[in-house]
Amino acid sequence: MRPPLIHKDLTALALPPNAALGWDEARRMLDGLPGGGLNIAWEAVERHARGALADRVAIRWHPVAGNVRPITYRELSEASSRFANVLRSLGVAKGDAVFVLCGRIPDLYFAVLGGLKLGAAVSPLFSAFGPEPIATRVNMGRGKVLVTTEALYQRKIAKIAVPMPTLEHVLRVDTPEFRATLAAASPQCEVERTGPEDTSFLHFTSGTTGMPKGAVHVHGAVVMHYATGRVALDLHPEDVFWCTADPGWVTGTSYGIVTPLVHGVTSIVDEADFDAVRWYRILEEERVSVWYTAPTAIRMLMKAGAELAKRHSLPSLRFVASVGEPLNPEAVWWGMDALGMPIHDNWWQTETGGIMIANTPALDVKPGSMGKPLPGVEAAIVHRGEAGLEVVAANDTEGELALRAGWPSMFRGYLDQEERYRKCFADGWYFTGDLAKRDADGYFWFVGRADDVIKSAGHLIGPFEVESALMEHPAVAEAGVIGKPDPVVGEIVKAFVSLRSGFQPGEELKMEILGHARKRLGAAVAPKEIEFSASLPRTRSGKIMRRLLKARELGLPEGDTSTLEESA
């Protein structure tokens, strides 16, 4: 028997639940620039540094080795202003592109916020990228300045073989010369008069389905970040918030930098990579109250076992959310068992800039569902075909997930792909490329990427449903499901499975898992083949790359692998 799925009881914490918040209201809760305009860095840092929160800790940085470094809003303001002034002295002006490749160190946050103060288009890059992917992105974004560290310069930038014609400066933040330049710069800086439509960030997609795309974002997105921080992440003034994503992905910027700072809460930044023991220690020691992570991390914690979680005392933890991939119901239940609360799945993408659909604290969690559209977000299931666009009225019908265009954090273009951008929109809708369905209560259920859906003997099969059923089996840690071409039925369902610690691959276990899947899904939908694999190929942002599983299965070229995590 499952325990009842309930939110953590907040009465003891005496926290008023956050009410729904429309965008106009969210905009009114922001300051705007003195004299008019909107700038993310002003909302995230300057207004706090000049007000009552100046001495509050904005960021608590956990280095790989050494002591935690607290950074107050005032310090964050001064350090980012120094950065802005140095960039300005190098000729960086509004609209110029600044790339930041630093790893999760304080200078990354200073450089990003400094760039925003100047009105630059800022692009944080994931530090594990190799030389080629870095150059590709800098060139796509017409980077003028690249901010990096000495070590990353030696390991990556120095090895770039292709020209980067727009790049004028490479700054190595930890060299004595650059430290001296920063120290000599003024800690005050006038914030550029940007408006809601001015470019703020360039974000690259995860490359799960193909070559990563560069999405252009604007300062107006901060309205969405404020609103979703309240409604979807339940941020309250005293919260300690930890978003585990790297700022090289949109989640690590929108919710690892902007949202917590805009709310004036304390945000945890961990320089190190995933480590179950370390993570529980940080959650406990820092008294993290709101935690935003990803299914891949949760699956790794599940692999490490609920016992490890229970060895830690997490009385401050109140709300846990997840994004990036479908969250299998098993993971939601694991949250109840290991953390004493469900994990709240939410859905969005690089293009949407912020959370669009979520299991919020105000809703009952439906395990396996990504939740309901947030206030102000209109989502629909649509069919696009020869006959045009049909908005599907019926519930429980699969189709493409579409969003009514016009939310504040909507992307404003794909770098170098104007036509592709245009094709994402029609009749006032934005088409997400994801398949989903809506139930009678208005909850949305993820079916799969449009590209990943399997057509078998006349059925359309979403890989997520199959993967979730496989994960219910106690031996299964992770599953990735693809369609394998078959002369008779079109495609058969093939599953790649990695096992939890303590289980050994073997014929008997395979038959047992197949039997379980057949019982759960029926013979038509259950996998016909299972292959055990020590790990599954994933993107650096943690998503299973089904296109690689498929290419490898069929012996086809792997395509762009710039975002593939190396260990896979």
Q: Which listed range, 89-97, 266-274, 322-330, 360-368, lies at the site for ligand ATP (CB under 6 A)?
A: 322-330
Query: Could you say whether residue 123 binds ligand ATP (CB under 6 A)?
Result: no
- By beta-carbon proximity to Mg ion, the closer residue of 205 and 266 is 205
In the bound complex, what is the minimum distance in angstroms from residue 539's beta carbon to Mg ion? 11
Report which of 114, 119, 262, 112 is spatially closest to residue 186, judged by C-alpha positions.
114
In the bound complex, what is the minimum distance in angstroms from residue 543's beta carbon to Mg ion? 10
Binding map of ligand ATP across residues 497-536, x = CB under 6 A, - = no contact? ----------------------------------------
Spatial CB neighbours of 215, under 8 Å, sequence gap ≥ 6: 202, 203, 204, 205, 250, 350, 351, 353, 411, 413, 414, 415
Spatial CB neighbours of 59, under 8 Å, sequence gap ≥ 6: 70, 71, 76, 106, 109, 266, 267, 268, 269
Q: Which listed range, 117-125, 137-145, 318-326, 469-477, lies at the site for ligand ATP (CB under 6 A)?
A: 318-326
Tokens for 207?
């490359």
- By beta-carbon proximity to ligand ATP, the closer residue of 346 and 409 is 346
In the bound complex, what is the minimum distance in angstroms from residue 69's beta carbon to ligand ATP? 29
In the bound complex, what is the minimum distance in angstroms from residue 154's beta carbon to Mg ion? 33
Query: Could you say whether residue 210 binds ligand ATP (CB under 6 A)?
Result: yes
Tokens for 505?
């691959």
Please choose which of Mg ion, ligand ATP, none residue 562 contacts, taking the beta carbon within 5 to 8 angstroms, the exact cut-off set by kind: none
- By beta-carbon proximity to ligand ATP, the closer residue of 261 and 327 is 327
Tokens for 288?
């993290």
Strand 399-404 versus strand 379-385 pairing type: antiparallel
In the bound complex, what is the minimum distance in angstroms from residue 211's beta carbon to ligand ATP? 7
Q: How many residues bind ligand ATP (CB under 6 A)?
A: 26
Report which of 479, 407, 2 is spatially closest to residue 222, judged by C-alpha positions.
407
Binding residue for ligand ATP (CB under 6 A) from 78, 246, 434, 467? 434
- By beta-carbon proximity to ligand ATP, the closer residue of 159 and 425 is 425
In the bound complex, what is the minimum distance in angstroms from residue 163's beta carbon to ligand ATP? 25
H helices within 428-521, ranges in order? Answer: 463-471, 507-521
Binding map of ligand ATP across residues 442-461, x = CB under 6 A, - = no contact? ----x--x------------
Report the chain's terminal Cα–Cα distance, integer Å. Answer: 36
Query: Could you say whether residue 253 binds ligand ATP (CB under 6 A)?
Result: no
Neighbours of 316 (CB within 10 A): 15
- By beta-carbon proximity to Mg ion, the closer residue of 136 and 205 is 205
**HEC-encoded secondary structure of 280-319:** HHHHHHCCCCEEEECHHHHHHHHHHCHHHHHCCCCCCCCE
- By beta-carbon proximity to ligand ATP, the closer residue of 106 and 324 is 324
Binding residue for ligand ATP (CB under 6 A) from 106, 115, 207, 329? 207
Burial of 326 (0-12, 13-18, 19+ CB in 10 A): buried
Q: Which listed range, 90-98, 208-216, 233-241, 311-319, lies at the site for ligand ATP (CB under 6 A)?
A: 208-216
Query: Could you say whether residue 428 binds ligand ATP (CB under 6 A)?
Result: no
Q: Which listed range, 30-38, 75-83, 141-149, 344-352, lies at the site for ligand ATP (CB under 6 A)?
A: 344-352
Query: Could you say whether residue 205 binds ligand ATP (CB under 6 A)?
Result: yes
Query: Could you say whether residue 370 binds ligand ATP (CB under 6 A)?
Result: yes
CA–CA distance from 56 to each of 344, 416, 430 (Å)?
28, 42, 40
Distance CA 281, CA 311 (A): 10
Q: To which residue do tokens 């490479």 refer?
A: 170
Q: What are phi and psi of 280, to 5 degrees?
A: -65, -35
Contact assessment for residue 542 and residue 324, using Cβ atoms and an 8 Å cutoff:
yes
Binding site for Mg ion (CB under 5 A): 205
Distance CA 504, CA 421 (A): 47
Binding residue for ligand ATP (CB under 6 A) from 148, 244, 360, 541? 541
Residues 213-232 that bind ligand ATP (CB under 6 A): 213
**HEC-encoded secondary structure of 17-73:** CCCCCCHHHHHHHCCCCCCCCCCHHHHHHHHHHCCCCCCCEEEEEECCCCCCEEEEH
Residues 43-62 that bind ligand ATP (CB under 6 A): none
List contacts with ligand ATP (CB under 6 A). Answer: 205-210, 212-213, 249, 323-327, 345-347, 349-350, 370, 432, 434, 446, 449, 541, 543
